[in-house]
Structure 1
Amino acid sequence: MALVEEKSSSSPLALLTDNAISAALSDTYSTLQERRKLLGLENPGTVDNIAREVQKDVLLSNFMFSGLRCDLQKVFSISPLFRLQHGLAMGSQALPPWQLMALYGTSNVFMQAAYSSDKSLTAWGNLRWTPRFVTKTQTSIDARQAQAMVQIENEYTGEDFSASLKAISPSILEGGLTGIVIGSYLQSVTPRIALGLEGVWQRAGLNTKPETALSYCARYKGTDWIASAQYLAQGSLGASYWRKLSDKVEAGVDCQLQFAPAMGAGMFGGIRREGTTTVGVKYNFAASVYRAQVDSAGKFGVVLEKRVAPPVTLTFAAEIDQWKNTHKLGLAVSLEGAPEELQEIAERADTQNQLPPPI
């Protein structure tokens, strides 16, 4: 009678789990998970940041500017983080004359918005659902453009892999899916080697055929150096090398090579190869950071950030193009204000193991 009662009280879905096939799959999965843990694999980062140490930390792509710039920042609270910033610029083609930016962030929520004098609005909003799963959004509205840009990304960070799915300006109002969808996956196969791929699907309108592309990437992490390579389906190849020379000095090399049909060569003509190699170095001093780079196109640039006082930071940028005989100069002043009690709270928060905002 006891056996009959146990069978009758079991769930109707027990047949899907209490069988030889599901048990074998569960045992196989558990065995693979144990072997992966024994390999000592680490999270390799994401495909978008596969060359972050060189392209975003050492080289000047994210730091070069021209003209005069002044940033006035005011921190109202640390936990949660709330900050307002006024930006003034003059003589710059990339920066607006005036910009107001607000930032709010906790360990699970990050929100930032920027409104410029040219009536453009850009907003970022990130939400951390779990310690490993984050949703990132970005919206850009510009009066000079007919359509707004919306980007939604879901990113999952595993113990030894990272996966993300991104949609740029998706729409189904025309009766079908249009926009750009990007999916990427990066997996550590050994403690030093990581392999990944990225797929792109895009369709401008229903009257056009969708286009797809697949890219491959690899990353090798040494003791004090990192090398990465990425091949794009459009016919371009990128390679980078980063090395930590000392506690305060970092160096990097980035090479970008594009393959395209030669002009006027016809369908069976030759392939034109164009490429640029950039070498950069970064010095971290006690109160300043110095970056310099030179590339094969004849450009030489430097950026110096120096904190002259706790609330004041000066930034000097310069770039010279030897072949075109042109140059750019930039000078920025950043003033940051925060009460002393907030600075003490920030120092105490740094000593605690808190998750940073999902930026």
Structure 2
Amino acid sequence: MGSSASHAAAPPSPPPAAAYAAPPPPPFDAAAPLKPQEEAGKPAAEAKVDYLNLPCPIPYEEIQREAFMALKPEIFEGLRIDFTKMLNQSFALSHSVSMGSIEIPAQGNDVIKVPNGTYEFGANFLDPKLMLIGRVSHDGRVNARVKCDITDNLALKINAQMMSEPGYSQGMFNFDYKGKDYRSQFQIGNNEFFGGNYIQSVTKNLSLGTEAFWLGQQRKSGVGFVARYDTKKFVATGQIATTGMVALSYVQKVSEKVSLASDFMYNQMSKDVTASFGYDYMLRQCRLRGKLDTNGVVSALLEERLAPGLTFLISAEIDHWKKDYKFGYGMTIGE
């Protein structure tokens, strides 16, 4: 997670006209003479960068969002059905049913799965300045998300997960401030977690950022740095942290509908190195995403739009080393 300039030679001088002969008059609709740069086939020089009028960068936690879209598709196993009903312009209810299997810890490379089925009920409230999203499952797990725009530049985000098992509940408060050419965030969470990040546009394409966190219960801290270079043709990101993590990503925008992505992950603590290659292909009625990584995992997700408000899903993943195979299909129904 340069450019070079060349100077073209001057155009050759026209041959001299015959002695005492007047030049022929130009046609009535003749175009204006080309400038030297245009005559040599060289585009006009780009305007200088206005460092006092730079664009606002994307949020710190979303610097790799283009790569995640292709390399991190939501793979599932079994059957999944999602139904959303809009009651009015702001309020909606949702129902989610899934029937598949879950993996349980096992020694070695063996994969042990047990059948599992879940039902989840949700309620959404969407307003220009307030967003409330809640989910509750049949086993008592509750997830809640809140986003409130306090001012035009300051927003409050709350993410909470409550579970019946003690010690697994989590909560996080985020205060996001959006400046003219920068963003900053302050985080407070359970287990005495404190964090903050800042990202600044350096040029119209390049943005740099840094973050720091402190986890009181585990007595751990860390500092990280990120860089993102975004153009109309590609997006390149880099991230490094004192925790021993290095992440690089690159997305090539082949066209408006096709993107190719790759990433590289290195964890110094576990000595784990992983590289992935993926694609994101958008057709008229469907979207196809997939990836292949160095661990021997191949996955793909197809989203086919059958009708307005009706989408058919096919998910597949093959782990050659662990001999683990996943296949799922589902439907998304919503107004």
Kept after mapping to 1: 8 A contact 2:77/2:328 = yes
> CA-atom RMSD, angstroms?
1.9
Deviations along 1:137-159, one digit per CA (max 9) or x if unpaired, are: 01211012346321100001112
Match of 2:195 in 1: 182
SS in 2 for 1:77: coil
Q: What TM-score, normalized to structure 2?
A: 0.78
Q: Kindly report which structure 2 residues correspond to 1:114-153, keeping only aligned pairs within 5 A, or say none.
A: 114-146=135-167, 148-153=169-174
Kept after mapping to 2: 8 A contact 1:96/1:118 = no
Percent pairwise identity = 26
Q: 1:296 aligns with which of 282, 291, 294?
A: 294
Match of 1:77 in 2: 88
Q: 2:248 aligns with which of 239, 250, 273?
A: 239
CA 1:65–1:41: 2 relative to 1, 3 Å: same
Kept after mapping to 2: 8 A contact 1:185/1:196 = yes
Deviations along 1:306-359, one digit per CA (max 9) or x if unpaired, are: 11111321110000111222210111111224xxxxxxxxxxxxxxxxxxxxxx
Q: 1:65 aligns with which of 68, 76, 87?
A: 76
CA 1:217–1:200: 2 relative to 1, 3 Å: same
Residue segments in structure 2 that go unaligned for 5+ positions in a row: 1-48, 104-115
Residue 202 (1) aligns with residue 215 (2)? yes
CA 1:303–1:147: 2 relative to 1, 3 Å: closer
Match of 1:54 in 2: 67
Kept after mapping to 1: 8 A contact 2:73/2:301 = no
Q: Counterparts of 1:65 and 1:147 in 2: how far apart (Å)?
A: 23
Q: What TM-score, normalized to structure 1?
A: 0.73
SS in 2 for 1:54: helix
SS in 2 for 1:91: strand
CA 1:199–1:155: 2 relative to 1, 3 Å: same
Residue 257 (1) aligns with residue 266 (2)? yes
CA apart distance, 1:200? 0.6
CA apart distance, 1:259? 1.4
Residue segments in structure 1 that go unaligned for 5+ positions in a row: 1-35, 170-177, 261-271, 338-359
SS in 1 for 2:67: helix
Deviations along 1:211-251, one digit per CA (max 9) or x if unpaired, are: 32111111112331110100011111000001110121011
Q: Counterparts of 1:232 and 1:183 in 2: how far apart (Å)?
A: 14
Q: 4+ residue runs of structure 1 moved beyond 2 angstroms?
A: 36-40, 92-96, 145-148
| Number of equivalences | 276
Residue 99 (1) aligns with residue 120 (2)? yes
Q: 1:224 aligns with which of 233, 240, 250?
A: 233
SS in 2 for 1:246: coil
Q: Counterparts of 2:331 and 2:280 in 1: how far apart (Å)?
A: 21
Residue 333 (1) aligns with residue 331 (2)? yes
Q: Counterparts of 2:208 and 2:117 in 1: how far apart (Å)?
A: 40
Higher helix share: 1
Say which one has the larger Rg: 2
Paired letter, 2:306? V
